[in-house]
Amino acid sequence: MAYFDAASAVPLHPVARQALLASLDEGWADPARLYREGRKARMLLDAAREATAEALGCRADEVVFTSSGTRAVHTGVTGALAGRRRIGSHLIVSAVEHSSVLHAAEVFESDGGTVTQVAVNRAGTVEPTAYAAALRPDTALAVLQSANHEVGTVQPVAEVAEVCRAAGVPLLVDAAQSLGWGPVEGAWSLLAASAHKWGGPSGVGLLVVRKGVRFAAQGPVDERESGRAPGFENLPAIVAAVASLRAVRAEAAQEAVRLRALTERIRTRVPQLVPDVEVVGDPERRLPGIVTFSCLYVDGEALLHELDREGFSVSSGSSCTSSTLTPSHVLKAMGVLTEGNVRVSLPTGTAEEDVERFLAVLPGAVAGVREKLGAPAAPAARQGPGEVLVDSLGKRCPIPVIELAKVFGDVPVGGTVRVLSDDEAARLDIPAWCEMRGQEYVGEEPAERGTAYLVRRVS
């Protein structure tokens, strides 16, 4: 089985396993106690904190260990907003942040705060000028991920941090995806990360709060972790997390070169091997191991099952793999094709042979799914009425686009197809189909039920 979902979680690093087993014997006691066993535990905790600070480029007393990366994000966001409540109640986030950030923003907004979402371009990148434009006198906090978890795009954190610093606004960086590859550059104020993203055990998060940042931890607190992460520390897991971070960092430069070559091979060859594919994300400013593409006329869940049967574990942002039947908020913000979406994220040590086997298997898997859905091979040029109506109400991704493609050959040049759909994904996938096919997307109109999407044939 080839595991290609490292952006979700990475298998436990061998160094982490060794550190975990060793610290189970030495780090079981309460590090707050003064007897011998407590002092041993405290020494392990202090050493882990100092090693983390060295890896992040901060002070040891700025590092807090939390119960997860999500908890680190929530604690960082709520604590920074509360600490600066006298400044105002305005929060800035990008439209492609991890759901943990967006959920924290939703709660803040429901409690009376205001939130500005900064848009991204088609590659998933924010513009520093957009953050500058979003800043207000009452802005309490800005948040930006270091790299995107779905498409791998690396964000201009240093530039945004400078914009925020000049305005006196702290920037919280969600560094979960990038921290294993190196420190986050720039004058950021807070940072959150999660150990299971770099080969540490799950259940360990990092929160860094720079000295001078106004911060007020919310909820009940105790004397542990500077009052910012209450409860008994999971010391063996913390030690293992830090040991794995140091280990992957030592391998990062060499491994990044190798994985970039493998993902570039996928980015280049998938469109050659599979027709009607859009590779998404920035082609240059991206993480070494992530490549994402979307396939027209494909049910994402069915494709993932086919690849799983062939021995590949991948993930998807398609609405047809989601219980909510809505497309990924990242793909939606980018305005790219969502149907048949596949994210390949290669873990350290991925074999070249596995990538070649994936490229050999993928075309057949996609073709099989398309055949089951009755997708058209190619639209035939026939003369017909000037407008064709396609009723796709009640049908989900990718059926509305498949039905559009099936009738498109019946429309003469200059004619239109009106697609009725109540599927949220159609708002993204029909314009994406037009761009890929070189046809004109006219726009959308309200209908008695759902929405009418108009497409004009230009060739």
Residues with a known catalytic role: 320
Residue at 404: amino acid letter: L
Phi, psi of 100 (to 5 degrees): -60, -35
- What gap in Å lies between CA 115 and CA 101, rounded to an integer? 12
The alpha carbon of residue 41 and the mean position of all alpha carbons in its chain are separated, in whole angstroms, by 35
- DSSP states of 93-104: EETT--HHHHHH
- What gap in Å lies between CA 412 and CA 303, rounded to an integer? 33
Phi, psi of 247 (to 5 degrees): -70, -45
E strand or H helix at 108, and its extent? Answer: helix 99-110
* Strand intervals (E) in 273-415: 277-280, 290-295, 312-313, 341-345, 387-391
For residues 100 and 74, the answer to whether their CB atoms sit within 8 Å is yes
Contacts for 10 with CB less than 8 Å, ≥ 6 apart: 180, 196, 197, 198, 199, 347, 348
E strand or H helix at 141, and its extent? Answer: strand 139-145
- Give strand pairing partners of 117: 93
Angle between helices 235-273 and 352-373 (to 10 degrees): 60
The alpha carbon of residue 216 and the mean position of all alpha carbons in its chain are separated, in whole angstroms, by 28
* Strand intervals (E) in 198-322: 205-209, 277-280, 290-295, 312-313
Q: Which of 324, 359, 320 is nearest to 337 (CA)?
A: 320
- What gap in Å lies between CA 401 and CA 351, rounded to an integer? 36
- What gap in Å lies between CA 268 and CA 335, rounded to an integer? 21
Q: Which of 424, 9, 451 is nearest to 197 (CA)?
A: 9
- What gap in Å lies between CA 273 and CA 187, rounded to an integer? 44
**Residue that the structure tokens 């498109």 belong to:** 408
For residues 318 and 104, the answer to whether their CB atoms sit within 8 Å is no
